[in-house]
Amino acid sequence: MTLYSEKVMEHFRNPHNVGKIEEADGVGEVGNPVCGDIMKIYIKVKDGIIDDCKFETFGCGAAIATSSMVTEMVKGKTIEEALKITNQAVAEALGGLPPIKMHCSNLAADGLLKAIEDYQQKTGKIKKESKKKKERK
């Protein structure tokens, strides 16, 4: 049996920011073929600040909880601040995840990064930092 923190259970039972943003400024879709989790993260950007963030996730409780948490963490942040949100930060914000579920926080952070990259490509505001991250993969 996997033991989850209260925070994980809260975000699983009552996920925040579920849904789709019509005419989103950036959309990131990620999936893990091993476990079957699929996430779509939507962002709305206003004056360089992430004004809104929503998600649609098909997956386990940890995938839903990390998606929910990343949308909470990113709202009100600049693009530069949002790019610094790591999978470890998502897991810590949830009070930790069991080692076997850490890949879920990777997906949430990766989905956010893809949504930001999508926004940057659409607006022509691609930062050098994002290009470096792509080269490392």
Instruction: Identify whether 137 is part of a domain.
Output: no
Which tens digit of pLDDT belongs to each residue from 57-113? 998 889 999 999 999 999 999 999 999 999 999 999 999 998 888 887 789 999 999
Which CATH number belongs to the domain containing residue 52 in this structure?
3.90.1010.10
Q: What is the DSSP letter of 18?
A: B
Domain-located, residue 39: yes
Range of the domain at 48: 6-127
Classified as helix, coil or strand, 57 is strand
* Domain contains 61: yes
131: pLDDT confidence band, cut at 50, 70 and 90?
very low
Q: In terms of pLDDT, which residue wins out, 117 or 100?
A: 117
Q: Is residue 136 part of a domain?
A: no
pLDDT given at position 137 = 40
Closest CA to 32 of 68, 72, 74, 60: 60
pLDDT at 21 over 50: yes
> Span 127-137, mean pLDDT?
46
Q: Is residue 133 in a domain?
A: no
| CA-atom Rg of the chain in angstroms | 14
Residues annotated as catalytic are: 35, 104
Place 2 in a pLDDT band, splitting at 50, 70 and 90: low
Total number of domains in the chain: 1
Q: Which of 46, 51, 43 is nearest to 118 (CA)?
A: 43
Residue 122 lies in a domain: yes
| pLDDT score, position 60 | 87
The answer to whether residues 21 and 75 touch, using CB atoms and an 8 Å cutoff, is no
Q: Is residue 104 part of a domain?
A: yes
Distance (Å, whole) CA 77 – CA 37:
26
Given this model, what pLDDT does residue 136 score? Answer: 41
* 75 φ/ψ angles, rounded to the nearest 5 degrees: -60, 130
Q: Three-class SS of residue 42?
A: strand
CA distance 58 to 39: 6
Q: At what angle do helices 6-13 and 61-74 cross, to 10 degrees?
A: 90
pLDDT of residue 65: 94
Whether the per-residue pLDDT at 34 is higher than 60: the answer is: yes
Residue 132 lies in a domain: no
pLDDT at 127: 58
